[in-house]
Amino acid sequence: MSKNKGFSETSADRYSLALYELATEANTLNEIENHSSSIIDLISSSEDFKSLIKDPTNSKEDQLNALNTISEKYKLNELFTKFLNFLVSRRRFFYVDKILKSFVETCSVKRGELKAELTSAKNLTENEINSIKEELTKNFSSKIKLNYKHDTSLIGGLIVQVGSTMVDTSIKNKLQQIENRMIEA
Count of CB atoms within 10 A of residue 155's CB?
13
Question: pLDDT (tens digit, 9 = 90+) per residue, 55-73?
Answer: 888 899 999 999 999 999 9
**So where are the chain's domains?**
2-109, 113-184
Confidence of residue 1 (pLDDT cuts 50, 70, 90): very low
DSSP 8-state class, residue 59 = -
Strands 143-150 and 113-120, by their bridges, are parallel
Confidence of residue 44 (pLDDT cuts 50, 70, 90): very high
Assigned fold of 2-109: Peroxidase; domain 1 (1.10.520)
**How many Å apart are CA 152 and CA 91, to the nearest integer?**
41
Strands 165-168 and 158-162, by their bridges, are antiparallel
**How many Å apart are CA 77 and CA 124, to the nearest integer?**
34
CB-CB contact of 118 with 129 (8 Å) = yes
Question: pLDDT (tens digit, 9 = 90+) per residue, 75-114?
Answer: 999 999 999 999 999 989 999 999 999 999 999 889 888 8
DSSP 8-state class, residue 3 = G
pTM of the model: 0.71
**How many Å apart are CA 125 and CA 116, to the nearest integer?**
17
**How many Å apart are CA 104 and CA 125, to the nearest integer?**
25
Amino acid at 182: M
Confidence of residue 159 (pLDDT cuts 50, 70, 90): very high
